[in-house]
Structure 1
Amino acid sequence: MTPARPLLDAPELREPGHTPVVHLVRGGVIEGVHHGSVVVLDADGEVRFRLGDTEAAFYPRSALKPLQAVAMLRAGLPLDGDLLSLAAASHSGEERHLDGTRRILDLAGLTEAELRNTPDMPFDPVVRDLWVREGRGPSRLAQNCSGKHAAMLWTAKLNGWSLEDYLDPAHPLQRAVADTVEDLTGQRIAHVTVDGCGAPLFAVSLHGLARALARITTAAPGTPEARVADAMREHAEMASGVRRDVAALMRAVPGLLTKDGFEGVQVAALPDGRAVAVKIADGADRARVPVAAAALVHAGIDPALLADFAGAPLLGGGRPVGAVRTVPALDQAS
């Protein structure tokens, strides 16, 4: 058996030293600034580029889901393909996502009533508007983490663990997830709280998050890590949604695995181990996407593949009068 890697100390709990990463430029004047932090790793794991504070403890939010999925496979979860992608998803609430969650529950011999995630409306605004018109309310199936929760329940059942308290940080399932987070990030967890869906949320560093996804994308075929990477890349719309930038990025860049998280988090990695991680201080998606694209250019991705993600125009009177632009330190493409 391969000995466990020694773990780095937990990152420090402190106010992160974020720095400007995006300018909102209207009519040639900087109208607004988004702060954040960025790290880019080479294939050998060395830091190629960093901006801001990449070592402070922070919450990756749903960007941890690929790591949670790896933990469940290590514990015996027999999923692959589209359903494994859904288990690692922040899905949009499309019918394919609801149906997939039902399929996981059916395979486990469980029902929606046993889910403990927070009921919510679909994440995708088009789907959500349709639900409102149809008079449908929040549900556990529609909430964006339902695939993960169904997979967690099945993993607990397979191991003979209790089901009603599967979200307790002391539950064997969540201890196994914490062990996997520490193993893949290479560092001890700094703090544990509760994510929006009710599952435990672990504080690590931005650097550690990038390391973790690189380990997932470089793992040997057939391993839990490789199975998660394969499933998410091959079923990108199941891992997010048909109108989501996450799926679009994976379609645009061959071999790329990427995952977003609430509050402006993005992590991405390539099969050779190059990886990037982004945190936007104010949680703005309009900054997250262009910063992630700029970080991928620093990682060596052809800027032409990322042109659609470089930043939205700012409109005045219905016509472009400015743009969301990454700061010069990030804007290697130009």
Structure 2
Amino acid sequence: MTEPVPFAEIWRGPFLESVHAGHAVICDDSGAIVQSWGDPDKVILPRSSAKMIQGLPLLTSGAADKLGLGTEQLALACASHQGAAIHTDRVANWLDTLGMSDDDFRCGPQVPDDRAAREDLIRAHETPCQIHNNCSGKHAGFLTLGAHLGAGPDYVAPDHPVQRACLEAFERVTGETSPGYGIDGCSAPNFACTLKGMARAMAHFAAAPDGSPEARLHQAMRLHPELVAGERRACTELMRAMEGRVALKTGAEGFFVAILPHRKLGIALKAADGTTRAAECAIAALLVKLGELDAAHPATLKRMNAPIHNRRGIETGMIKPAAALT
């Protein structure tokens, strides 16, 4: 089947009101497909789900160890954080260690998703900086690698040594030659591959031996789930619900990946309509299906079989995974 399959259903009372569809792949450590839904050969842009791959050159080059980066910095290099103080304070310290400032970033400013941080800026009559960008940890990693390589300041240019290193890592772990790239929201190139290539890459991370760059990155994510996203976010809450056994990473336009080290499995999925609620419901359903996530955990129930309330607090319906995923 090459058409997207139903992922998530939206019910209003007794009526099926909407259906989100998508594609998903689970791969094992040999790169083989264990199970798939929809089209595993669909060419996709993994968006921020690729941050672990973009973080690989930071380690393989020796740049991270030369600067003495710890697990918190490695988690932030893989993060789509919400600009809370726990994120921006750590990125600011990282920049200080590099002898750089916010002006050295190329990700652009972003109003923080964290309410306290956003209100602090308003009270101080200040505007957001680039450090508030959800990708500032990844960009701190780019700056670290660029400095280590002695490369120029425009590290997001596709032909810059930093991005060439990212492309080499991407093609190595996906096992594919990328057909091209799109420019991501943070201005860095986002390389394309097939969905099964992305699942294969996540399985590669899952099977990597302790001490390898891949293992160090997913271990940092599992150790610091609050740095990977933030409070009330799916990545953080679901990783906590699984007590650090699984690394999760979302991406824009309905993308999600999972790394299951203890089972040497990788998951990649894409909601065809690009909706976050569909991708979150689907990844939760697949993790429940695999026995990794408790269906009754509060973090799970926020994403699948979750009630929908109107503005008066009346329960009007629910979002639940489609039968294909359960």
TM-score, with length taken from structure 1: 0.88
What is residue 165 of structure 2 aligned with on the other side? 176
Distance in 2 (alpha carbons) for counterparts of 1:158 and 1:69: 14
1:297 aligns with 2:288: yes
What is residue 195 of structure 2 aligned with on the other side? 206
Distance in 2 (alpha carbons) for counterparts of 1:305 and 1:213: 26
**SS state of the match for residue 132, structure 1?**
helix
Q: CA deviation at 1:289?
A: 1.1
* Matched letter for residue 257 of structure 1: A
Count matched residues.
315
Aligned pairs for 1:63-142 within 5 A: 63-78=49-64, 79-125=69-115, 127-142=117-132
Distance in 2 (alpha carbons) for counterparts of 1:214 and 1:200: 23
Contact 1:39 1:295 (8 Å CA) reproduced: no
Q: CA deviation at 1:133?
A: 4.6
What is residue 320 of structure 1 aligned with on the other side? 315
Distance in 2 (alpha carbons) for counterparts of 1:100 and 1:128: 17
Runs of 4 or more, structure 1, over 6 Å off, are: none
1:228 aligns with 2:217: yes
* Matched letter for residue 140 of structure 2: A
1:251 aligns with 2:240: yes
Distance in 2 (alpha carbons) for counterparts of 1:143 and 1:277: 25
What is residue 260 of structure 2 aligned with on the other side? 270
Distance in 1 (alpha carbons) for counterparts of 2:253 and 2:305: 18
What is residue 55 of structure 1 aligned with on the other side? 41
Q: CA deviation at 1:80?
A: 2.7
Contact 1:80 1:228 (8 Å CA) reproduced: no
Q: CA deviation at 1:220?
A: 1.2
* Matched letter for residue 76 of structure 1: G
User: Structure 1, unaligned stretches of length 5 or more?
Assistant: 1-15
Check 1:263–1:133 CA distance in 2 against 1; reply closer, same or farther (3 A cut): farther
Contact 2:206 2:266 (8 Å CA) reproduced: no
* Matched letter for residue 75 of structure 1: S
* Matched letter for residue 71 of structure 2: G
Distance in 1 (alpha carbons) for counterparts of 2:100 and 2:155: 14
1:238 aligns with 2:224: no
Match of 1:195 among 179, 184, 190: 184
Distance in 2 (alpha carbons) for counterparts of 1:217 and 1:61: 20
Q: CA deviation at 1:250?
A: 1.0
**Higher alpha-carbon deviation: 135-144 or 60-69:** 135-144
**Higher alpha-carbon deviation: 293-302 or 99-108:** 293-302
Q: CA deviation at 1:299?
A: 3.1
TM-score, with length taken from structure 2: 0.91
* Matched letter for residue 143 of structure 2: L
User: Structure 2, unaligned stretches of length 5 or more?
Assistant: none
**Higher alpha-carbon deviation: 61-70 or 315-324:** 315-324
Q: Any idea what the Cα deviations from partners look like across 1:71-99, whole Å, max 9, x if unmatched?
A: 22112222231011111111110011111
Distance in 2 (alpha carbons) for counterparts of 1:161 and 1:290: 42
Distance in 2 (alpha carbons) for counterparts of 1:33 and 1:134: 44
